[in-house]
Amino acid sequence: MFIVENYSLAVILCFITMLCWGSWGNTQKLAAKTWRYELFYWDYVIGIVLFSVLLGFTLGSFGAEGRPFIQDLKQADMGNILSAVIGGIVFNAANILLSASISIAGMAVAFPLGVGIALVLGVFVNYFTAPNGNPIVLFLGVTLITLAIIFNGIAAGKMKKGQKGESNKKGIILAIFAGLLMAFFYRFVAASMDLTNFSEPASGMMTPYSAFFVFALGILISNFLFNSLIMKKPFVGSPVSYKDYFNGSFKTHLIGVLGGSIWAIGTSLSYIAAGKAGAAISYGLGQGATMVAAIWGVFIWKEFKGSSKQTNVLLTLMFLLFISGLVLIILSGGN
């Protein structure tokens, strides 16, 4: 299987993760023109599962090092399988809330708040369970990102009042809860892998490829509960049905599958890079997706169009603090 051999390559993969995690939301925005996010989300999950299978039989099966995908799945013990499944369930609960926030408040609000909170808490959770890197530099970077989150929250709160303001408030609340949940999913999946040795992983533990596949199954299984509930009791708008889903066009379904595949590419590369960069740094760099999503939301989708000069200053400070924090997170692992 493909294994990352040096820190520089791990950082490059984490940057790809960042781009993927910060860009998949564009497919939801595109589908939203004719498609409710609850329906889009089914195709998104299908995209994740399909990509996990493709990855397992390609990069996860080629090469002389490590255990091949199927062999690795067969030898995994139930405790590690359960850990990866729980990771999928926790992630799905968080991501459905994030998708709801995107549909209500936009990418420039949902990602910096939701994923930003997940970044801060997630780095702490992953570092103290599997320490790797300079903690002072790492947590200084996290502090700067925390300030960026605060500035984004203030900017979002300054959006116009009235109906749009009330919707924005609901979107902010959903993003916060999404971030609190999302901070913990990565650790469950990382715990199912032998991060110290992908070439000869310990018996019963999984490689990134099989762990990601099991994680994807956890997302799919839990979606029958979580998304079915939200379809019946949506945060905004009237209920939607499975009949509505099957009435969607092929192109519309394909956009959702593409969104899931984009996210899956980023997540799988993050797990592959974790063996060399460490879980905290790999996770933290990937969550720089907040910057990417904010750029899409502010400059492409014009979600803050017509905002005051004060709001624009806050957004500028947010970008500068996020960039500075990400640089420190990178430097924390370069020793």
pLDDT tens readout for residues 173-221 = 999 999 999 989 988 998 999 988 888 899 999 999 999 999 999 999 9
- Check residue 166 and give its pLDDT: 57
**pLDDT exceeds cutoff 60 at 69:** yes
Which of 53, 76, 84, 82 shows the shortest CA–CA distance to 264?
Answer: 53
**pLDDT exceeds cutoff 90 at 34:** no
- Check residue 291 and give its pLDDT: 75
Tens of pLDDT along 109-166? 787 788 778 878 888 887 887 787 789 998 898 889 888 878 877 887 776 444 455 5
State the Cα–Cα distance between residues 222 and 237, nearest whole angstrom.
Answer: 23
Residue range 287-303: mean pLDDT, rounded: 77
The secondary structure of residue 323, as a DSSP letter, is H
Q: What does the mean pLDDT of the chain come to?
A: 88
- Check residue 165 and give its pLDDT: 53
**pLDDT exceeds cutoff 90 at 243:** yes
Least confident segment among 51-65, 128-142, 230-244: 128-142
**pLDDT exceeds cutoff 80 at 42:** yes
Entry pTM: 0.84
Q: What percent of the chain has pLDDT over 70?
A: 96
State the Cα–Cα distance between residues 97 and 322, nearest whole angstrom.
Answer: 23
Q: What share of the chain is helix, strand, coil (3-state, %, to 5)?
A: 75, 0, 25
Taking a C-beta distance cutoff of 8 angstroms, is the pair 252, 28 a contact?
no
Q: Output 57 or 132, whichever has higher pLDDT.
A: 57
**pLDDT exceeds cutoff 60 at 334:** no
